[in-house]
């Protein structure tokens, strides 16, 4: 048998490995961010050394045109590097970074990013008092041709001996990258993503430091969240009977127990381990701090996409607007919990969560969900178990006081229910979301007037004030709700002459701003615009031509259109005329005059229709919203049953249903995997067909009135005569039966069918939903 010749294998990779790294899919803005991260780490090194960090700045230069000589440049004013550090900084897979406290981790980000962008990279660096700039070039074609990684040192003159910093220039950009970046809209996308990714460090007193970022000479400002409360705003809080006072902005800071960490393998170890199971060594084990901090809050507007949680590592956002924590996962299957209450699937819960000690992917675009640190964070932020109390109770989870649970309970709805004075403040919701979104755009643009939440708050207060001044629903004798202007109205109580009368009320102010109408209006049809300042005035106001004039409008020398309206005028005491209608009519009338002067000829009807389509959406009978609200109303009625029954009472009521009704309920429970205990808890109506709910109500009205769900009297009605009492109770049941029938009709219709329904039918069904509201909204939702 021949002798085996001992030898070593050379595993040094071929130089073509570097350009192959460019095949890793990394978005252009993430390529730029990888290079910015290196500069931030250099700033952090100075800060942690105790030296003064003077005005740290990073400038990014992107090509403005699709030119063969175009290049991408990132330059910082950090401390610069010596030759050994420069050599190691560009070596694939090498890093001197502390993987816990720095942005750079794997030593691959630089190589992936530069290879993704172009074929040639030059790195220049200098320190204070260095005589020149030194650098190197990574040219893929040259490296592959020479079959080794050696590259000569480059130098260039240095005008200022005190200059310091590092410059990375990526040249010979790949055609697809060059073409994409050269488009202005794409450069704006890069700027927008960078403003989000580094927002915590682009602010004053940033975390873990503050620096200035410029892109093509323009300062990149932090994109902050447009939230209620928080820094610069008064506290926005809601008082609940179940959870106490809940703030719309909840900061938190949890210091976890230190854990051993292997700096050689970059792995967290179990508590108490002194030897790394990966490298079988204890020399590289150290105890590291673990901390989960940040805040959760409520956005000032709702959106289908712009909500969710941002997860950060060492000040840089790895994931933005993530919605994973809004799901309950069972056996690997996610079940959405938020925003299931909004018919348009719009949400507004946002937040920033720092988990510096949790692992991320090598492309730094996602945290490792298999890292135990991630599960610890989830438990702290959303608690254990589902966010929905009924689901949590079914699965045996205890009380939950996590930040996300509290915000979910108090602010999960996006429309008040019932619409009574104070309901908009209780939800912190602007009635017209389109207006709130438009104001948010001004916030993001940096408009000083919109940086606090005051303008949104004015709209909330105004909406609540309107409900207080003109109650939408009145109570007729016997507890039956009646709309103003419809049906019998209760007579005012006779004054008690023996009781001293209160002093006359203070006269109202002569003019009050109407925030909901004060804004700029633009008509897409005529390209006209009005900068309206709306004011509520008295009948005797000098701008009105007399007490019988409901409104007037005039243009000031400054170009503002002032709108004066007497909202107490009889013309507004109807369901079909509002101050908004008056304003839109007035603007349409002025548009007719301006059109004649401009020589255009749109009709009054088309202009008014155009303005109403844009600004009167709040009064639209939206089939999707109506159907969704009907389903929620009926579900709330069904859920009220379990609060008024004991376990001994529940099952006999279930068994009183017909066999087919019981079977339908059991089948629905099986589909939703609900336990049998639901029946004994009095929750079986939640799984019943809507017609079964109606029939149950007709047979057991005593379980829903007298404050059990509705405040209307039923068992407390007593005329001293059995027949008269029974007649009065029968009328109450009949009245609510009709309302429930309308709600059932709404819930069972397809939105396309509702769109074809008559306006009168939709108005009636919509009013039925309002009249079915309970006396107050609960603190806890299902």
pLDDT tens-place string over residues 309-365: 999 999 999 999 999 999 999 888 899 999 988 888 999 999 999 999 888 888 889
Percent of the chain with pLDDT over 70: 89
Q: Cα-flanking dihedrals φ and ψ of residue 284, to 5°?
A: -100, 15
Answer yes or no: is pLDDT of 616 > 90: no
Name which residue leads in pLDDT, 498 or 427.
Answer: 427
**Rounded distance between C-alpha atoms, residue 175 and residue 209, angstroms:** 36
**Which range is least confidently modeled, 10-24, 415-429, 749-763?**
10-24
Answer yes or no: is pLDDT of 488 > 80: no
Confidence of residue 674 (pLDDT cuts 50, 70, 90): confident
Confidence of residue 493 (pLDDT cuts 50, 70, 90): very low
Q: Where are the alpha helices (DSSP H) in 90-217?
A: 109-117, 140-146, 175-181, 184-197
Does the pTM of the predicted model rise above 0.85? no
**Rounded distance between C-alpha atoms, residue 527 and residue 602, angstroms:** 12
**Rounded distance between C-alpha atoms, residue 651 and residue 781, angstroms:** 24
Confidence of residue 780 (pLDDT cuts 50, 70, 90): low
The DSSP call for residue 718 is -
Helix, strand, coil shares, percent, the chain, to 5:
35, 20, 45
**Which range is least confidently modeled, 59-63, 192-196, 598-602?**
598-602
**Which range is least confidently modeled, 63-72, 475-484, 589-598, 602-611?**
475-484
Give the 3-state secondary structure of residue 183. Answer: coil
According to DSSP, the β-strands at 72-76 and 165-173 are antiparallel
**Rounded distance between C-alpha atoms, residue 424 and residue 779, angstroms:** 14
Q: What is the dihedral of CA 384, 385, 390, 395, to 10 degrees?
A: -120
**Rounded distance between C-alpha atoms, residue 273 and residue 286, angstroms:** 10
The structural architecture, per CATH, of the domain 17-219 is 2-Layer Sandwich (3.30)
Chain center to CA of 159: 50
pLDDT tens digits, one per residue of 693-710: 999 999 999 999 998 889
pLDDT, residue 494, reads 45
Q: What are the beta bridge partners of residue 303?
A: 347
Phi-psi region of 485 (alpha: psi -120 to 50; beta: other; left: phi over 0): left
Q: Cα-flanking dihedrals φ and ψ of residue 411, to 5°?
A: -120, 15
Answer yes or no: is pLDDT of 471 > 60: no
Q: Residues of 585-598 as b/e, b for ≥16 C-beta within 10 angstroms? A: bbbbebbeeebeee
Q: Where are the alpha helices (DSSP H) in 368-402?
A: 372-382, 389-394
> Do residues 221 and 203 touch, judged by C-beta distance below 8 A?
no
> Do residues 590 and 532 touch, judged by C-beta distance below 8 A?
no
Which among 470, 675, 658 is positioned nearest to 575, based on CA atoms? 470
> Do residues 591 and 528 touch, judged by C-beta distance below 8 A?
yes
**Rounded distance between C-alpha atoms, residue 436 and residue 425, angstroms:** 15
Name which residue leads in pLDDT, 260 or 61.
Answer: 61
pLDDT, residue 1, reads 52
Q: Maximum CA pair distance of the chain?
A: 127
The label of the residue with tokens 């050689």 reads: 264
pLDDT, residue 225, reads 97
pLDDT, residue 363, reads 86
**Rounded distance between C-alpha atoms, residue 379 and residue 375, angstroms:** 6
Q: Cα-flanking dihedrals φ and ψ of residue 60, to 5°?
A: -115, 130
Answer yes or no: is pLDDT of 496 > 60: no
Name which residue leads in pLDDT, 536 or 265.
Answer: 536
Whether cis (ω within 30° of 0) applies to the bond prior to 339 is yes
Which among 412, 49, 415, 367 is positioned nearest to 248, based on CA atoms? 412
- The helix (run of H) or strand (run of E) holding residue 272 is none
What's the average model confidence in pLDDT over 128-139?
A: 93
* Segments making up each domain of the chain, as ranges: 17-219, 237-425, 511-613, 623-771
Q: What are the beta bridge partners of residue 249?
A: 297
**Which range is least confidently modeled, 183-187, 447-451, 650-654?**
650-654
pLDDT, residue 148, reads 79
pLDDT, residue 105, reads 43
Cα–Cα distance list, 174 to 19, 70, 145, 170, 281 (Å):
11, 10, 19, 10, 44
What's the average model confidence in pLDDT over 643-663?
A: 88
**Which range is least confidently modeled, 675-679, 724-728, 742-746?**
675-679
What's the average model confidence in pLDDT over 438-465?
A: 95
Whether cis (ω within 30° of 0) applies to the bond prior to 729 is no
């Amino acid at each position: 048998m021949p002798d085996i010749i001992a030898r070593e294998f050379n595993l040094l990779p071929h130089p073509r490995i570097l350009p192959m790294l460019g095949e890793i899919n990394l978005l252009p803005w993430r390529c730029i961010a990888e290079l910015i991260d290196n500069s931030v780490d250099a700033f952090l090194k100075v800060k942690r050394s105790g030296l003064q960090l003077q005005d740290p700045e990073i400038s990014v230069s992107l090509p403005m045109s699709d030119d063969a000589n175009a290049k991408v440049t990132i330059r910082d004013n950090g401390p610069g590097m010596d030759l050994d550090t420069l050599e190691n900084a560009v070596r694939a897979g090498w890093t001197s970074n502390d993987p816990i406290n720095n942005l750079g981790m794997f030593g691959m980000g630089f190589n992936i990013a530069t290879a993704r962008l172009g074929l040639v990279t030059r790195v220049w660096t200098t320190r204070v008092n260095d005589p020149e700039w030194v650098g190197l070039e990574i040219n893929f074609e040259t490296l592959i041709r020479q079959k080794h990684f050696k590259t000569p040192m480059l130098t260039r003159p240095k005008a200022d001996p005190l200059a310091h910093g590092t410059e990375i220039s990526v040249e010979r950009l790949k055609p697809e990258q060059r073409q994409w970046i050269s488009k202005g809209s794409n450069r704006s996308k890069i700027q927008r993503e960078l403003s989000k990714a580094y927002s915590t460090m682009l602010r004053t007193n940033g975390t873990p430091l503050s620096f200035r970022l410029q892109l093509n000479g323009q300062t990149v400002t932090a994109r902050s969240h447009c939230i209620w409360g928080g820094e610069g705003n008064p506290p926005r809080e809601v008082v609940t009977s179940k959870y106490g006072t809940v703030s719309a902005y909840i900061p938190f800071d949890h210091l976890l127990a230190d854990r051993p960490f292997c700096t050689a393998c970059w792995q967290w170890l179990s508590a108490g381990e002194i030897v790394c199971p990966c490298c079988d060594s204890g020399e590289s084990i150290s105890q590291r701090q673990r901390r989960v901090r940040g805040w959760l809050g409520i956005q000032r507007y709702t959106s289908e996409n712009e909500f969710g949680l941002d997860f950060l590592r060492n000040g840089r956002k790895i994931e933005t607007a993530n919605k994973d924590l809004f799901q309950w996962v069972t056996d690997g299957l996610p079940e959405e919990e938020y925003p299931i209450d909004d018919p348009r699937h719009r949400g507004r819960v946002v937040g920033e969560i720092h988990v510096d000690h949790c692992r991320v992917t090598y492309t730094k675009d996602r945290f490792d969900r298999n890292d135990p640190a991630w599960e610890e964070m989830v438990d702290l932020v959303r608690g254990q178990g589902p966010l929905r109390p009924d689901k949590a109770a079914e699965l045996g989870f205890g009380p939950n006081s996590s930040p996300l649970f509290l915000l979910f309970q108090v602010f999960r709805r996006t429309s008040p229910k019932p619409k009574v004075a104070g309901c908009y403040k209780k939800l912190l919701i602007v009635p017209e979301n389109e207006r709130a979104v438009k104001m948010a755009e001004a916030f993001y643009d940096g408009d000083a007037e919109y940086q606090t939440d005051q303008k949104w708050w004015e709209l909330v207060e105004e909406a609540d004030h309107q409900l207080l001044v003109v109650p939408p629903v009145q109570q007729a004798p016997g507890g039956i709700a009646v709309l103003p202007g419809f049906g019998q109205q209760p007579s005012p109580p006779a004054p008690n002459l023996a009781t001293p009368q209160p002093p006359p009320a203070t006269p109202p102010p002569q003019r009050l701003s109407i925030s909901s109408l004060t804004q700029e209006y633009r008509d897409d049809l005529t390209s006209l615009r009005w900068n309206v300042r709306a004011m509520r005035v008295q009948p005797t106001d000098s701008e009105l031509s007399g007490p019988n004039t409901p409104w007037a409008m005039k243009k000031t020398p400054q170009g503002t259109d002032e709108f004066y309206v007497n909202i107490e005028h009889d013309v507004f005491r109807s369901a079909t005329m509002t101050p908004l209608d008056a304003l839109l009519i007035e603007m349409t009338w002025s548009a007719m005059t301006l059109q004649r002067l401009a020589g255009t000829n749109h009709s009054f009807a088309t202009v008014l229709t155009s303005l109403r389509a844009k600004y009167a959406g709040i009064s639209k009978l939206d089939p999707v919203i109506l159907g969704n609200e009907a389903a929620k109303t009926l579900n709330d009625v069904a859920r009220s049953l379990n609060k008024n029954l004991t376990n001994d009472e529940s099952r006999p009521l279930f068994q009183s249903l017909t066999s087919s009704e019981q079977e339908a309920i059991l089948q629905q429970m099986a589909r939703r995997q609900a336990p049998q205990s639901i029946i004994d808890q009095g929750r079986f109506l939640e799984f019943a067909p809507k017609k079964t709910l109606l029939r149950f109500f007709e047979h057991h009205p005593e379980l829903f009135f007298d404050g059990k769900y509705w405040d209307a009297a039923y068992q407390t009605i007593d005329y001293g005569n059995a027949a008269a009492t029974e007649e009065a109770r029968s009328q109450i049941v009949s009245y609510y039966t009709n309302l429930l029938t309308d709600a059932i009709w709404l819930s069972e219709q397809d939105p396309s069918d509702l769109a074809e329904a008559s306006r009168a039918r939709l108005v009636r069904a919509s009013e039925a939903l309002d009249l079915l509201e309970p006396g107050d909204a609960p603190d806890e939702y299902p």
